[in-house]
Structure 1
Amino acid sequence: MKPKQDLKQRTKLFSLRVIKLVQALPNDKVSAVIGKQLLRSGTSVGANYRAACRAKSQADFINKIHISEEEADESLFWMELLTEAEIMEEKRLEELMKEANELLAIFSASVLTAKKNRIKP
């Protein structure tokens, strides 16, 4: 597989893991609100990465990959809240949070590289 395809699959698997996590949350108001936010940001990571792969220009790519970066960071925020509010044990979220951090690092590096390589008029 090409590296882009690997990251497409990886971000899709991240989304699926987020979906399963949200489905496992307790059935209460706080969990529902945080879960909804996590579901939106977590599934948006892969959707925006796929959009970046179809970018029409370098500026479009930078914009979309930056959105993936922001959504990965936001997903981390919601997972941190789940653990700090003692809704879910940190141990249960460790691997998913590790993956979110790795995706965040990949997207951050991609944004920096794309900006550095941007063709200036």
Structure 2
Amino acid sequence: MERNTLKDKTFQLSVSIIYLYRQLCNNRGNEVLACQLLRSATSIGANVREAVYGVSRADFIAKLQIALKETAETEYWIELLQETGTVKSEQGEKLKRDCVEIKRILIATLKSSKFKTQ
């Protein structure tokens, strides 16, 4: 159940970030930050999908750990964009809540997966 929820939530976050990316790229000064945000946010879902098809439990765990790190990076870029007034506070807060929810699922899944290997 969690993996499907995780897959759906990471996909929806990617979609939201793609829309934001398009907005940000309308202003030339935002291109670098927009690219960083796009890269990290879309990487979350990609790593979750890769984890599902991991060749071993260790591979599964490694991919989810990468997704967790990418989620933290995505939060950073969102906070930076908010702090500089590039992204509206409400929009940034929604995206950060989505990241926190994804992190919680990832952490719970990782704990469960690591416990099963012991």
Fold shared by both chains (TM-score > 0.5): yes
Aligned length: 117
What is the alpha-carbon distance in structure 1 between the residues aligned to residue 83 and residue 46 of structure 2?
A: 28
Work out the CA distance in 2 between the residues paired with 1:28 and 1:83: 17
The Cα of 1:89 is off from its aligned counterpart by 1.8
List, as ranges, runs of 4+ consecutive aligned residues in structure 1 with deviation greater than 2 Å: 2-7
Residue in 1 that maps onto 2:63 = 64
CA drift at 1:38? 0.4
Give the Cα separation in 2 of the matches to 1:79 and 1:52.
25
Contact 2:6 2:105 in 1 (8 A): no
Q: Which amino acid aligns with 2:9?
A: R
Instruction: Describe the superposition over 1:54-73 as per-residue Cα deviations: whole angstroms up to 9, x where unpaired.
Output: 11111001100001111111
Which residue identity does 1:9 align to in structure 2?
A: D
Q: Is the counterpart of residue 73 in structure 1 residue 62 in structure 2? A: no
* % same residue: 35
Counterpart in 2 of 1:117?
Answer: 116
Higher helix share: 2
2 CA distance for matches of 1:33 and 1:64? 26
CA RMSD, Structure 1 to Structure 2 (Å): 1.4
Comparing 61-70 with 105-114, greater Cα deviation is found at 105-114
Determine whether 1:9 maps to 2:8.
yes
Distance 1:108 1:3 in 2: 11
| 1:83 corresponding residue in structure 2 | 82
In structure 2, C-alpha distance between the alignment counterparts of 1:11 and 1:75, rounded to whole Å: 12
1:51 paired residue number: 50
The residue number in structure 1 matching 2:106 is 107
- Using the TM superposition, give the Cα deviation of residue 112 of structure 1 relative to its aligned residue in structure 2, in angstroms: 2.0
Unaligned runs of 5+ in 1: none
The 5 A counterparts of 1:7-46 are: 7-25=6-24, 26-29=26-29, 31-46=30-45
